[in-house]
Amino acid sequence: MRIQAREIRHTVLLFLIVAIVPLIFFPNDLGLKFGVSMPLYLLAELVYYGIVISIFLDSPSAKDTVSASTFCLGFRLLAGLAFASLLFLMNAVSPVDAFGSGLWEYKPAVLLHTLTMPFVLMSAIRSVLRAQAVKQKTRIILGSPGDISASSARPDRVYPRHDSLPRPVIRPGTVFTGQAPEGGDIPVKGFDAAVRHVFELSAVKFCLLVDEDGLPVAFAGDEEALREIWSAMGRLLVDQIQSSLLKAGDLVLQGFDLSLDTYRLHAATVCGLWLVVGADRQSEELEKVRIAQAVEMIRKTYEQKYSEIKRREVPEADYV
């Protein structure tokens, strides 16, 4: 789960502004004095946060409302600490008085931080809750990652447990001669570098390279569950679309874009593998450039790794 860099910068900028503004008025209290105890004020503060979140977010659950309210309270206290640090450094206020004023005693700062904090954090809260909702819906619809991987793998084939190991397709009637690269294992640094190249964009949620069996060859993403989910789902989508295209006129699928309610899927084929990318719906065209570059990186890597493997066709009778 990632919050876009643009949202992070926006939130941090607003947070710093809110933390600094009370310095303009200090030590003038502007006549703001309310005779309530700190525990009672904190309780009222949580209620206020809950009301704001319920109004401005799309029907949050009680658990989400409580979590977001606690999140706002924590950052309100953090803003008070930032204000206190500035008082200590810039106004030569003693540490005890500075931190007392920032957290409770200087009412203009406390009230300003309280009133503005849910709006400062609203974008971040919305992104976090949306990501959690998508993850929960995906698990409900698709089942656990273990179930998906178990059902997507063919029972009569066993592969070594190496997530980035390429699996060349060997069909009847084909004989491989020559030597494999030194060490016996085919290095796959190029595949990993290709998916990471796409995932570097903040709008991209995950990037996955899948083989013909729906098994992951390389993956880059914040959540491991996405690798198992979309390796199976990506292969299933490809098979279903290709089947329909063959019925429509013997057409061959080269790639597709699919818009979902939360993000957009891109898929492209290269050397018998499929590159599957999930990105924000509002993401920019730059991701398509990165995908094209990644496809070229995968093609070059594939050609380099298999350049020493010489193939020649033989009659079926000789193969048997």
| Model pLDDT for residues 271-289, shown as the tens digit of each residue | 888 898 888 876 667 788 8
Averaged over 24-31, what is the pLDDT?
86
Query: Any idea which residue has 């914040």 for tokens?
Result: 222
pLDDT for 163: 41
Chain centre distance of CA 225: 11
Percent of the chain with pLDDT strictly greater than 90: 26
Rounded distance, CA 175 to CA 312, Å?
6
**Mean pLDDT, rounded, of the chain:** 76
**Which has the higher per-residue pLDDT, 24 or 4?**
24
| Model pLDDT for residues 163-172, shown as the tens digit of each residue | 444 444 433 3
pLDDT for 54: 93
Give me the residue spans of the domains in the chain: 5-135, 166-319
pLDDT for 189: 58
Q: Please list, in sequence order, all residues whose beta carbon lies within 8 angstroms of the beta carbon of residue 255, skipping any fewer than 6 positions away.
A: 266, 267, 268, 269
- Strand partners for 259: 264
Coil/strand/helix, residue 13:
helix
Rounded distance, CA 151 to CA 168, Å?
21
Do residues 221 and 287 make contact, with C-beta atoms less than 8 angstroms apart? no
pTM of the model: 0.46
Task: Evaluate if residue 160 carries a pLDDT over 60.
Answer: no
| Model pLDDT for residues 70-80, shown as the tens digit of each residue | 999 999 999 99
- Total residue length of the chain: 320
CATH class of the structural domain 166-319: alpha beta
Task: Evaluate if residue 223 carries a pLDDT over 90.
Answer: no
Rounded distance, CA 102 to CA 108, Å?
10
